[in-house]
Amino acid sequence: MSVNKVILVGNLGRDPELRSTPSGQSVCSFSVATTDRFTDRAGQQREQTEWHNIVAWGKQADICSQYLKKGRQVYVEGRLTTRQYEAKDGTGKRYRTEVVAQRVQFLGGRAPAGLDDGTADFNSGPDAAPPIDDEDIPF
């Protein structure tokens, strides 16, 4: 048995970007920052911020692009995936690790109209996010 599950609560680092695959499926990408606060060995308070790349598909992508904005707090539940691509400058292979969102919940404010609990949970089934083919990636 294996588990690939990610749960994040953080703030958007930029406005979401909505694109479409050649087949017409919506895909929305955005970044979420999470900050860990701790005391180091010298007793000093420290912060460490991690940036997470998030990808939402289908109707969930449309809703995320419409309602999420830079700075908004969000809950994201999903799975990790890493894809490989060729650098545009021809310098070789690059890798990008992303969280494929299966559930996104808007936090820190009033819920958007029509989403009474702030949840955009439209892609949680077994075929929620299709396998990503390089030809389907619009960026």
Beta bridge partners of 119: 105
- What's this model's pTM, rounded to 2 decimal places? 0.74
What's the pLDDT score for residue 123? 44
What's the pLDDT score for residue 109? 63
Domains of the chain, start order: 6-37+45-123 (2.40.50.140)
What's the pLDDT score for residue 132? 43
- What are the residues whose beta carbons fall under 8 Å from the beta carbon of 44, sequence distance 6 or more? none
In tens digits, the chain (139 residues) has pLDDT values of 999 999 999 999 999 999 999 999 999 999 999 999 999 999 999 999 999 999 999 999 999 999 999 999 999 999 999 999 888 888 889 999 999 999 999 997 655 555 544 444 444 433 344 444 444 444 4
Q: Is 42 left (phi over 0), alpha (psi -120 to 50) or beta?
A: alpha
CA distances from 75 to 12, 24, 106, 116 (A): 10, 27, 6, 16
What's the pLDDT score for residue 87? 86
